[in-house]
C-alpha cells in the first residue's frame, strides 16, 4: 500500500494574509497571544538598579567585549583622577555609560518577565491539598509538600496544587493563570486530556489527581525560571558569535597596542585614554552589548504566544527547521466533521433514508451526530425526540458507538437501525444475508476521493432482512488560509508533511486542498518516528506536534517537538516546547519566531561591524594627522579637532547601543522569503545603514561638543 504521496509542489497564488493575519509575522491565529510589554521610561527606571548590579566584574567576565570596555573605563578613571582634564573626564564618563547601556539592555529584557513571574508565584501562594492516604482517608497538606506519585482530591473551587494526571473523574478547569484565556477547558481521566497544571482552578465536579512533578520542578516553576531568564543558556549560534566577538576583540587589542610604538617613532605618542577610546570604538561593542537582550527577547516572544521552551536552543532550532510534520485533524482541518449531504440508495426514498439517519443519530452526542440532525432538519425531515421514542416504544435500546464496532444506532420495535463506517456497516448487513448496492459502493469511493468521510445507514427489519439505505457525506473542512500559509512556508524552503489516520484516497484529497508538499496516510506512531528518522538522515531538521503518550517517541526524536498542554505528561516530558493553548497550528508561528530571532541577531551583528568603519575615519586621522599631515584627507567628515573627533566617536558608540534596544527587544520584522533574499535585504538595510549612520551621527555630535571649552 502506498503510504505517502507528493501533493502540490508549487503555489503561484501565495497570499500575504491567511485567516486575516499577516503570514510573515509570528502572530495571532486562533490561539491566545499576550501583548508585548511596552518600553517606557518607567520600565527603564525599574531596570536601572539591576543594570548597576550587573557591572560587577564577576558578571561582566561572561561578556568579553563589554568586560574589555569595563577594564578600559576603569583605567581611564584612574588616569583622570591622577591627571584630570575635560577631555579625559568626558571620555571616561561615556565609557562608563557604554558599559551601563549594555547591562541596561539585558536588564530591560529580563525585567519584562518579572511581573509575569510574580503573578505565577501568587497563583500558588497558600495553596493546600487534600492528600489521599493509603487507607482511603484524606488530610490537608501545603501544596509545596507534595511529592511525585502522591494522590490528591480536588473539587469545584479548589486550586490544583501541583502538576498531575487525572486518574479518576472529569472536571471543567480554569487555566487562565497560565494561558490568559478565560474560557474553561475539560480535563478527564484516560486519553490525551488527562494532564492538569498546578495553579489552575477546578470549576466543577470532582477529580482525583496523581502528582507527576517533584517540588520546584512543576510547570509553573519552570515557567518562572524561563520568564526571569534564570535558566537561559547560550545557544550554539550565540556561542559561535561569542567566539567571533572574542576573536575580533583580541585582534583589535593587538592592533591598538602596536599603534603606540609606531606613533612614538613618528613623534605623535597618543595618550592611554585615546588608545582606550580607539579600542572601544573598534571592537564590536554594539552587538556585544545587545546579544543577551536579543536572546532573552526571543524567549519572551515565545512566552507571549503562550509557549514554554526548555531552552533557547529549541527556539533557534525552530528557525532552522526544513520539515514540518502536522496532524491533519485539528491542525490543517477543523477536526469536527459535519454532515453535508444524504445519498439514498437507488431503491430507497430520500425521505426514508434521511429519517433513518436522523433516528439512529438521536443518541449520538458527537459533533458528527448533531450535524446529521441539523442537516436532516434543514432538509425538512423532523420527528419525535429520543425521550418520546423511548416512551412510545415497547422494545427500545440505544446502541452506543465503540471503537470495536465502529457503529451506533437504535433498536426500535424490532427494527435495528445503524450508521457507521462503510466497511463495518457493509459487514453488518452481510451477516444478515444482505449486500451493498453498486451505486452505494461507488458513492463511498467518490466521497473518499473528495476528502470526505462516508457513513452508511442500514436497517434490519423484524423478519431479519437487512438493507443498506444510503450514504451520509461527512466533510472535514480545511481551515481558511492554510493553502496560502503552506505556500509561504514553501517559499521559505520548508517542506510540509501532513500526517493522518485516514485512508490514502481521503488523505490525498485533503493534502491537495490544503497545499501540503507530502502526506502520510494511515499513520501509526511507528510511522511518525520512521518519517522523522528518514528526514533527519537526509540532513533536514524536523519539527512536529503531539499530545498523546503514543506521540512521545516522535516528539523526543524531532529536532523541535511541541507538546500540547492538554496532553499527557509523557508527551510534555518528551517535547522541548509546550503550547499552553494546545493549538497544533501554532507550530507554524514558532518557526517564524525562531527565524525572527536568528535574523535579528544577524542583522544587528552586520550593523555593529559595519558602523566601525566610520570610526576609523574619525579616530585614525585624529591620532596621526599631526605627525602625518597627509592623513588629513581621511577626515572626510570635517571634524573640528582631534579631541572632538575622538569624543564624538565614543559618544556615538554609546548612544547607538541604547538606540537599538527597542529593535533588539522587538526583533527585526520577519518576512517569508528565502535565506538568500533575507541575507541580501539585511546586508542592504543593516550593512549599508551601519556604514552611513555613524558618519551622520558622529558629525552631528561633533558640531555640538566642539562648542565645549577644553575640547573644541
- Residue owning grid cell 585614525: 620
Beta pairing partners, 417: 410, 459
Beta pairing partners, 130: 140, 153
User: Coil, helix or strand for 455?
Assistant: strand
Q: Select from 233, 222, 223, 166 the least CA-distant residue to 194.
A: 166
Q: Select from 461, 465, 441, 450 the least CA-distant residue to 345.
A: 441
Q: Half-sphere exposure (CA, 13 Å, Cβ side) for 262?
A: 11
User: Coil, helix or strand for 612?
Assistant: helix
Distance from the Cα of residue 685 to its chain's centroid: 27
Give the three cell numbers for residue 214. 517533584
Helix (H), strand (E) counts: the chain: 25, 24
Asked if residues 46 and 325 have their Cβ atoms less than 8 Å apart, the reply is no
- Residue owning grid cell 507527576: 212
Q: Select from 598, 566, 568, 599 the least CA-distant residue to 583.
A: 566
- Residue owning grid cell 496532553: 567
Distance from the Cα of residue 56 to its chain's centroid: 34
**Catalytic annotation present for 327:** yes
Distance from the Cα of residue 419 to its chain's centroid: 41
Q: How many residues does the chain have?
A: 712
- Residue 307 backbone dihedrals phi, psi, to 5 degrees: -120, 130
**Torsion angle defined by CA atoms of residues 252, 254, 259 and 260, in that order, rounded to the nearest 10 degrees:** 130
Distance CA 311, CA 234 (A): 9
Helix, strand and coil percent figures for the chain, each rounded to 5: 50, 15, 30
Asked if residues 170 and 187 have their Cβ atoms less than 8 Å apart, the reply is yes
Asked if residues 600 and 294 have their Cβ atoms less than 8 Å apart, the reply is yes
Indicate the burial class of 314 (C-beta count within 10 angstroms; 0-12, 13-18, 19 or more). buried
**Torsion angle defined by CA atoms of residues 321, 325, 328 and 329, in that order, rounded to the nearest 10 degrees:** -90
Question: What does the buried/exposed string (b/e) look like for 340-375 if buried means 16 or more CB atoms within 10 Å of the residue's CB?
Answer: eebbbbeebeeeebbbbbbbbbbbbeeebbebbbeb
Q: Which of 327, 476, 581, 583 is catalytic?
A: 327
Q: Select from 661, 670, 543 the least CA-distant residue to 599.
A: 670
Angle of helix 236-265 relative to helix 272-282, nearest 10 degrees, comes to 150
What is the set of active-site residues? 327
Amino acid at each position: 500500500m502506498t503510504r505517502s504521496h507528493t501533493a502540490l509542489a508549487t503555489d503561484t497564488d501565495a497570499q500575504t494574509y491567511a485567516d486575516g493575519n499577516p503570514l510573515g509575522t509570528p502572530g495571532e491565529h486562533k490561539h491566545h497571544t499576550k501583548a508585548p510589554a511596552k518600553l517606557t521610561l518607567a520600565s527603564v527606571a525599574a531596570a536601572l538598579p539591576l543594570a548597576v548590579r550587573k557591572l560587577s566584574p564577576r558578571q561582566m567576565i561572561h561578556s568579553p567585549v563589554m568586560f574589555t570596555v569595563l577594564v578600559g573605563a576603569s583605567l581611564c578613571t584612574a588616569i583622570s583622577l591622577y591627571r584630570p582634564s575635560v577631555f579625559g573626564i568626558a571620555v571616561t564618563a561615556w565609557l562608563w555609560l557604554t558599559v551601563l547601556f549594555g547591562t541596561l539592555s539585558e536588564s530591560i529584557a529580563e525585567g519584562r518577565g518579572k511581573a509575569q513571574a510574580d503573578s505565577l508565584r501568587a497563583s500558588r501562594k497558600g495553596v493546600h491539598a487534600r492528600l489521599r492516604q493509603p487507607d482511603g482517608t484524606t488530610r490537608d497538606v501545603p501544596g509545596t509538600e507534595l511529592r511525585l506519585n502522591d494522590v490528591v482530591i480536588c473539587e469545584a473551587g479548589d486550586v490544583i496544587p501541583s502538576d498531575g494526571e487525572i486518574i479518576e473523574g472529569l472536571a471543567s478547569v480554569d487555566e487562565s493563570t497560565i494561558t490568559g484565556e478565560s474560557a474553561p477547558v475539560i480535563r478527564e481521566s484516560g486519553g490525551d486530556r488527562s494532564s492538569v497544571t498546578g495553579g489552575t482552578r477546578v470549576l466543577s465536579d470532582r477529580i482525583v489527581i496523581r502528582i507527576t512533578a517533584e517540588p520546584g520542578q512543576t510547570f509553573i516553576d519552570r515557567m518562572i525560571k524561563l520568564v526571569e531568564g534564570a535558566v537561559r543558556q547560550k545557544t550554539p549560534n550565540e556561542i559561535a558569535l561569542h567566539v567571533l566577538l572574542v576573536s575580533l576583540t583580541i585582534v583589535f587589542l593587538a592592533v591598538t597596542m602596536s599603534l603606540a610604538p609606531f606613533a612614538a617613532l613618528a613623534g605623535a605618542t597618543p595618550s592611554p585614554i585615546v588608545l582606550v577610546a580607539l579600542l572601544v570604538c573598534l571592537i564590536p561593542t554594539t552587538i556585544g552589548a545587545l546579544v543577551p537582550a536579543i536572546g532573552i527577547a526571543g524567549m519572551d516572544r515565545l512566552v507571549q504566544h503562550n509557549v514554554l521552551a526548555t531552552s533557547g536552543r529549541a527556539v533557534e532550532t525552530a528557525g532552522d527547521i526544513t520539515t514540518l510534520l502536522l496532524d491533519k485533524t485539528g491542525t490543517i482541518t477543523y477536526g469536527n466533521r459535519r454532515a453535508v449531504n444524504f445519498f439514498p440508495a437507488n431503491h430507497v426514498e430520500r425521505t426514508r433514508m434521511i429519517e433513518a439517519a436522523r433516528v439512529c443519530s438521536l443518541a449520538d452526542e458527537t459533533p458528527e451526530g448533531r450535524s446529521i440532525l441539523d442537516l436532516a432538519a434543514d432538509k425538512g425531515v423532523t420527528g419525535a425526540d429520543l425521550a418520546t421514542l423511548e416512551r412510545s416504544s415497547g422494545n427500545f435500546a440505544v446502541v452506543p458507538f465503540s471503537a470495536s464496532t465502529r457503529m451506533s444506532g437504535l433498536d426500535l420495535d424490532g427494527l435495528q437501525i445503524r450508521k457507521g463506517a462503510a466497511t463495518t456497516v457493509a459487514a453488518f448487513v452481510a451477516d444478515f444475508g444482505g449486500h451493498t448496492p453498486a451505486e452505494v459502493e461507488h458513492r463511498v469511493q467518490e466521497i473518499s476521493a473528495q476528502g470526505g468521510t462516508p457513513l452508511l445507514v442500514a436497517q434490519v427489519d423484524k423478519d431479519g432482512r437487512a438493507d443498506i439505505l444510503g450514504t451520509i457525506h461527512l466533510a472535514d473542512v480545511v481551515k481558511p488560509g492554510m493553502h496560502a500559509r503552506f505556500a509561504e512556508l514553501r517559499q521559505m524552503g520548508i517542506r510540509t508533511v501532513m500526517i493522518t489516520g485516514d485512508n490514502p484516497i481521503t488523505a490525498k484529497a485533503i493534502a491537495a486542498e490544503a497545499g501540503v508538499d507530502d502526506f502520510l496516510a494511515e499513520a501509526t506512531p511507528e510511522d511518525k518516528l520512521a518519517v522523522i528518522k528518514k528526514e533527519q538522515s537526509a540532513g533536514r531538521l524536523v519539527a512536529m506536534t503531539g499530545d498523546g503518550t503514543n506521540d512521545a517517541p516522535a516528539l523526543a526524536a524531532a529536532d523541535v517537538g511541541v507538546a500540547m498542554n492538554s496532553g499527557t505528561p509523557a508527551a510534555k516530558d518528551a517535547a522541548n516546547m509546550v503550547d499552553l493553548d494546545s493549538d497544533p497550528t501554532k507550530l507554524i508561528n514558532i518557526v517564524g519566531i525562531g527565524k525572527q530571532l536568528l535574523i535579528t541577531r544577524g542583522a544587528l551583528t552586520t550593523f555593529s561591524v559595519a558602523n566601525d568603519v566610520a570610526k576609523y575615519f574619525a579616530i585614525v586621522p585624529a591620532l596621526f594627522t599631526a605627525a602625518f599631515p597627509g592623513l588629513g584627507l581621511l577626515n572626510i567628515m570635517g571634524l573640528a579637532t582631534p579631541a572632538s573627533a575622538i569624543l564624538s566617536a565614543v559618544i556615538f558608540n554609546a548612544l547607538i547601543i541604547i538606540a537599538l534596544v527597542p529593535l533588539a527587544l522587538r526583533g527585526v520584522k520577519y518576512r517569508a522569503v528565502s535565506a538568500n533574499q533575507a541575507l541580501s535585504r539585511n546586508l542592504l538595510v543593516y550593512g549599508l545603514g551601519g556604514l552611513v549612520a555613524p558618519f551622520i551621527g558622529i558629525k552631528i555630535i561633533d558640531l555640538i561638543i566642539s562648542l565645549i571649552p577644553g575640547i573644541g
